[in-house]
């Protein structure tokens, strides 16, 4: 698998809203920053993702405009736009922003090591 394939797989896994699909793509030492805070390690990240999955029903999630900052055999860094839409408390809701991800190749498998999600690029 190459980093581009990983990102597509990650996008698809997030779209399932099922941690069991996302978890195999996450590094044990992961660090994720959302608007709600920074989460360190797989356990904290699982809690943050699971909370989002429970709040946002019927979510559609997409990644676009991917820019690879760096790719080599061990690490890859990319920036991208993200968009989500779904239902919160029975009402339509959506959001978008800019993400940065750091991937690590460990034993031939790409894993998410760090992700920072923020407001859209201006």
Q: Which residues contact 54 (CB under 8 A, 6 or more apart)?
A: none
Task: List the alpha helices (DSSP H) in the chain.
Answer: 3-15, 19-22, 41-55
Distance, CA of 44 to CA of 68 (rounded, Å): 27
Q: Read off the pLDDT band of 36 (50, 70, 90).
A: confident
Strand order, beta sheet including 57-71: 37-40, 26-34, 109-118, 91-106, 75-88, 57-71
Distance, CA of 50 to CA of 73 (rounded, Å): 31
Domains of the chain, CATH where assigned:
3-118 (3.10.450.50)
Provide the pLDDT for residue 122. Answer: 73
Rounded to two decimals, the pTM is: 0.92
The string of pLDDT tens digits covering residues 54-108 is 999 999 999 999 999 999 999 999 999 999 999 999 999 999 999 999 999 999 9
Instruction: Dig out the tokens for 36 from the structure.
Output: 């709600």
The string of pLDDT tens digits covering residues 18-35 is 999 999 999 999 999 998
């Amino acid at each position: 698998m190459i980093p581009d394939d990983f990102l597509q797989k990650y996008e698809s896994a997030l779209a399932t809203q099922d941690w069991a699909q996302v978890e195999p793509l996450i590094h044990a030492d992961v660090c994720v920053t959302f608007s709600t805070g920074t989460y360190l390690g797989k356990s904290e990240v699982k809690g943050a993702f699971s909370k989002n999955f429970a709040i946002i029903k019927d979510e559609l999630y997409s990644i676009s405009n991917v820019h690879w900052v760096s790719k080599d055999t061990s690490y890859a860094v990319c920036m991208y736009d993200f968009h989500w839409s779904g239902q919160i408390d029975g009402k339509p809701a959506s959001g978008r922003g800019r993400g940065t991800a750091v991937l690590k190749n460990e034993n031939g498998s790409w894993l998410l090591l760090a992700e920072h999600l923020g407001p859209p690029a201006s």
